[in-house]
A and B are shown apart, each in its own frame.
Chain A
């Protein structure tokens, strides 16, 4: 586990570079990092929870604490598995030890505890951080090919198999 902050991305085989000519590798982009921090600040200010995405302060109450109700914890867990940690590479917030992921877990758990719908929480997070935060792509004008692909591939598979075998049968019948 890449602990407190995952400056070292987890899937290192690709990342261990001889010359790190590009500091951008570490974070998706500096401007994103900044705006994310800014948003996190706003967000926290809004709820007046005395925590911020800084290492010096203790983690948010529900960052490392499970909800009492197992059903609610499961719902929170399922949701957290599908949300991206914005400071790490390819980790969900459930798996990340970055402070920011801890804050997001805290948010998710508290909202679930208050009885909010997981999908509403997802929508709320997407509204703040963009589609990037959710591993579950939505159908939009931008992403529809992702959902068309399986249908097209299935149709193609049927066509290929049909073509191959109707022909074989026709020829087999003749010979």
Chain B
């Protein structure tokens, strides 16, 4: 009896010890599996279709990694100021933030405020970084396309032309036959004639919008031909920082934009992309020019658009020098001062993974992975994919950054608005040339 009691006690003790080991092992395995569990990553996002799509999925990341994610979302009108202010502080109030190839990124790079991601991108084979289009990644390299990576793209946009297929059909115009810009001008005149008194404008395009100069680069490049230019200074400045706003291609780009602006609905001068999208989605414009391909997602959504199923897409039409456009992107970066950089990278790696890129693609219409485009092309529609494909074939990165670029772009907005309001093109462009020259001289880029 005593022996059996001892045996039972021994057995129970063995079971207890084994259970303890098992629990400890499981804990260790979990710890290895979730090395950053318990850390908190603060994420600052711009109000954007990607942000709307990703937010409901964040709990999956939290569950898989044990990392807590705190998201703050801001409208774009204040987003960049907050990023600048946050990055410049000793303790930025965010670890991960949405970044674009613009002055904020460049400024962050110059001041050492944003983290170099070179060592992270190839950590995981499964992540397959090379699946992300390299020409999109290049926009997040600083100081230039040969530099280090400071942001991982999550959506991209190329600048295309949107048009109302139903109106063109009603007017017997075959958009496929409109090959040149001149063809389009004739078609737009016909549209104006037919629908002007019905409140449908021939065109809509960004006006007084601080982001407009980014898109204007597409209109200028559409006239530039195959001449070389310096990335980051684009078509406006050469290697000596001499200005080229009186170049014929630049003038034609500005003239095109201003003419389209003057064809817009009442108040078009004050339109930002937001009003442009609303106007086109509400059926108040027959065409929408040189704007982000990803807006197709809004236009094809019957809940947001009255023109769903009626929209056609095309790359910018040919000019005397051929055709071209530009592209841009949104990405995610990490603040250099973040105390949880590795956990922050886990979030970026997850947010830009194949799975998430595919699951957010319907909302963004602008995935950045080749694999996602392959998987989603049927959903996006043949015409849209063809237009984006054609646009990307003739596209250049539309990124302009240097000390003083923000001031130059503000003057560009002034110039376009003045031309659209009837001022002489030559005079305005000569003024623009002088203003740009003054900025680069003031910034010490060019000796006076």
A binds B: no
